[in-house]
Structure 1
Amino acid sequence: MKIIIAGAGEVGFHLAKLLSYESQEITLIDTDKDSLAYADNHLDIRVIKGDATSIAILKESRVESSDLVIAVTASETTNITVCVLAKQLGSKRTIARISNTEFIHHKDEVGFTKFGIDELISPEALAASEIELSLKQSSFNDSYEFENGALMMIGLTLRSSASFVGKTVKQAAKIFPELHFVPIAIQRFGTQFTIIPRGDTEFKRGDHIVFVTSKGGEDELCRLTGKPNRVIKNVMILGGSQIGFKTARSLSEKGFNVKLLEEDKDRAFDIADELPKVLVLHSDGRKVDLLEEENIGDMDAFIAVGKNSETNIMSCLVAKSKGVKKTVALVENMDYFELSHSIGIETLINKKLLAANNIFRYIRKGEVVAMTKLSNMNAELLEFEVKPSSAICNKVIKNVDFPRSAIIGGVIRDGLGVIALGDFKIQAGDRIVVCCLLQSIKGVEKLFR
């Protein structure tokens, strides 16, 4: 695919990096020569210095033959303008990064596609939604919803007390035949290798396992793995950034008791005026004594979304030491993901990764409805819609020539999630959740074209 990215900031560079690994033809546009020089030296892409709203610059980038234009500059207005111009100049699809989430909520009413914008994304809104979901599934490390929870991806680390430690997948299935979950990926303790489990794969203590569950599967996993089913009610948020603000607003509207710490006085007063249900405190939440004064030990969850990744991590570790059940940290450095579970922070949030996941489904072949990359794992979780012409349509799962390094996690039919086993027959209109290692993605895509 020919892809043009406007904006070489953190989101744009990260997207260019991931897409270049997939042998896509990438052109990166920005006015900052230093950002472009760094990208040019580190990535196998084409760079153009200039204003992406310039028609001449867009033509130089060969926009008329592009498959996708992604505008992710810091300016919402610039991104919208770039997409409108690109579509008029011949680009097949456009995606604009925005900060005003009203645009997303009213996109059908306004009709952005009429202007030439096919999709709107807000990394900040995606991060806030991810944080909220992590509190909803507070007993687990990772989580992702398909079709408003018809199927759910959740991750956890196996304790020695878990019922199926030492058993194979096949043995566990015989013991618990009515369960509403299936393992789709395993990372062994102390390794960086991702395993797609088969019937003879053995569960071991310390495994980090990703499951797909249907309704009720989360509660069953809590019981079988010995993890407490936590109830989150009292939440402390460090940082009044856009993410902190959006998270506080959403949680307070849903009945959570929210306390937000913001060190900038003017910002703290502005948030307090806009969020009357949130207790906003003008204080430096990085200081341990202040956290103790604000009764951090009484909190069920601590969310650190300040500007500095290291500060967010350290604040979460302090919260953990004071007995807080659930900790969530916003980080920019992707390398921290490998350390998160070992240092005791349940959930790390990264805007770049969330934006990339949201955009990547437009890169994949077949009718990809949603996708996410698994944290710390060399695998992707994709939701495909089955077309009548798809090779997998009207076939029983056990008869499908499926790659060995991929697995079907579940099927959504008529809005209901099902853990589909070998005898399940796939029909047109089904939405299939598939987990696959990167080397098998092309083979899986062919089945859904």
Structure 2
Amino acid sequence: MSAVKILIVGAGAVGSHLAKILSQEKHDITVIDVSDEQLARVSESLDVMTLEGGGSQISTLQRAGAAEADMLISVTSKDEVNLTSCFIADKLGTKKKIIRVNDPEFLVSDSPIQLKDFGVDLVIYPDGLAAQEIVRLIRRSAATDVLDFADGRIQLIGLRIDEGSILINRRLKNLIADHEELEFRAVAIHRGMRTIIPSGDDVFKKGDQVFVICVTEHVPEMLRLAGKDTATFEKIMILGGGNIGRHVAEALQAEVSVKLIESVKETSVRLADELPKTMVIQGEGKDIDLLATEGIQDMDAYVAVTRDEEDNIISCLMAKHLGVKKAIAHVEKLDYIPLANTIGIDALISKKLSAATAILKFVRRGEIVSVATLHGVEAEIIEMVAQKGSPVTKKPLRDLNFPDGAIVGCVIHNGSATIPVGSTRISPQDRVVVFCLPKAIKEVERFFS
């Protein structure tokens, strides 16, 4: 992908994360924010241009070069700023515009305000994205991460290697040889704060978080091999009745028994009307007696999505202590996410990271079909299309000298998805799922173009 000129409005967590990833790919990035402190933090750590000013001001966008920009990404916490900056950038001539919205009313089809009238090319609703991720984790009960590829025919799952697992001290190549009936490939091991792209000689250790790409129909067998309970969940408790909690309850209430605890009386009354199959309880999540009375110890899964991330983490730790099978917490600070594996929570979800991932997918579209980021792992899963005459089509995988920091996890040829081996050859127009560390992204793209 050739370098493009991108304006990012908002130097908060989402904007900074996007600037970091896109600047590593050598794009021309300008970050705009009203806070000189936020911009100073960006300048200290990233090789990008910064501009102090309001993203919704004509003069600011003119100074930033909106007329020549290929893309504007407006991800401040204020919907009105994002909408206005998009509208102005569109009039100034910016080619593509992406905005973040926090109010779901903007997404209603019969809304009097249609975002296309503002020149918006992509709308990102972080709360909805985070809720979707939580729902996937609940439905795939034993996994710490679940990502779909090849239109759902392939899944990447995260597995924690617990004490007593039969995988401990097993070499990957021996595991593959002993289970040839399973189509899978281990594409990453997260150990401590380090990410390893494994070879056949690598050994699994207690506490590892292993990422495996697998044909979807073989996922249950893969989970059983790892010693995981594959039973579906029946009882779920949600702490927090904001947008994320409401979306999760709405998606699951027809499948499982859902209890939702909300501290604000007016909100709990409204939710009781909106969620007829969910038991809504008004109370404080910090009230241990309330949680015990409502049967937290009998829950299969506990989801904490209040606005207080520390409360979310602490209540999840308590849920795990009481025997809940899966605990998922929402956090605001991206720095917290790598801690999930260390502190014993099954998954830490960030709506900001979910938003950034969706935006990166749009930015990189073309040869790249989709892109996803693993929570707590500084790496990406990229689904790409092999172009005619590209280097990746010239030799079998074992002879390609594929970039360090990257591994091919799956090949989709003529609609059929397979897990590759060394002799696999990639044909033009094949879709290929690649696990990739940031340093290798550019080189991987070269192999496919």
TM-score normalized by the length of structure 2: 0.90
Match of 1:151 in 2: 154
Aligned to 1:419: 419
Q: In terms of mean alpha carbon deviation, does 388-397 or 434-443 score higher?
A: 388-397
Equivalent-residue separation in structure 2 for 1:237 and 1:243 (angstroms): 10
The within-5 A match list for 1:22-421 is 23-32=26-35, 35-36=38-39, 39=42, 43-101=46-104, 116-159=119-162, 161-188=164-191, 191-252=192-253, 254-364=254-364, 367-393=367-393, 395-421=395-421
Cα distance in 1, alignment partners of residues 354 and 140 from structure 2? 18
- Structure 1 residue 255: Cα displacement: 1.9
Q: How far apart in 1 are the matches of 2:276 and 2:195?
A: 46
Q: Per-residue CA shift, 1:155-191, capped at 9, x if unaligned?
A: 1122464444433322222211111211001133xx3
Q: Report deviation, 1:263.
A: 0.7
How far, CA to CA, are the matches of 2:268 and 2:53 in structure 1?
A: 37
Instruction: Using the TM superposition, give the Cα deviation of residue 362 of structure 1 relative to its aligned residue in structure 2, in angstroms.
Output: 4.3
Q: Which whole-Å deviations, capped at 9, do the CAs of 1:395-414 have from their partners, x for residues lacking one?
A: 53334331132111112345
Structure 1-normalised TM-score? 0.90
Deviations 1:391-447 (A, max 9, x none): 324653334331132111112345543212223332333221101222222211101
Could you report, residue by residue, the CA deviation over 1:195-244 in whole angstroms, capped at 9, with x for unpaired residues? 21122223334332111011223211222121111311211111111111
For residues 180 and 18 of structure 1, what CA distance do their matches in structure 2 show? 32
Tell me, yes or no, if the aligned pair for 1:288 and 1:318 is still in contact at 8 Å.
no
Q: Aligned AA for 1:227?
A: K
Change (3 A) 1:159 1:78: closer
The SS at the match of 1:335 is helix
Unaligned runs of 5+ in 2: none
- In 2, Cα distance between the equivalents of 1:364 and 1:79? 21
CA distance in 1, matches of 2:114, 2:422: 42
- Partner SS, residue 390 of structure 2: coil
Q: CA RMSD in A?
A: 2.7
2:121 maps to a residue whose letter is: D
Alpha carbons of structure 1 residues 211 and 105: separation in structure 2 relative to 1, 3 Å: farther
Give the deviation of 1:28 after TM superposition: 2.4
Does the CA contact (< 8 Å) of 1:186 and 1:207 recur in 2? yes
- How far the C-alpha of 1:139 sits from its partner, in A, is 0.5
Report the Cα offset of residue 286 of structure 1. 1.5
Change (3 A) 1:267 1:389: farther
The one-character-per-residue Cα deviations of 1:25-62 (angstroms, maximum 9, x if unpaired) are: 33222345554455456655433343323332211110
For the residue of structure 2 that corresponds to 1:339, the secondary structure is helix
Displacement of 1:103 in angstroms is 6.1
Change in 2 beyond 3 A, CA 1:61/1:239? same
Secondary structure in 2 matching 1:447: helix
Aligned partners of 1:88, 1:428: CA distance in 2, in Å?
Answer: 39
Q: Is the 8 A contact 2:83 2:118 kept in 1?
A: no
Distance 1:348 1:116 in 2: 34
Would you say how many aligned residue pairs link Structure 1 and Structure 2? Answer: 444
Is the CA contact 1:262–1:283 (under 8 Å) kept in the aligned structure 2?
yes
The residue correspondences of 1:423-434 to structure 2 (distance < 5 A) are 423-434=423-434
Separation in 1, partners of 2:316, 2:161: 22
Secondary structure of the structure 2 residue equivalent to 1:59: helix
CA separation in 1, counterparts of 2:436 and 2:91? 37
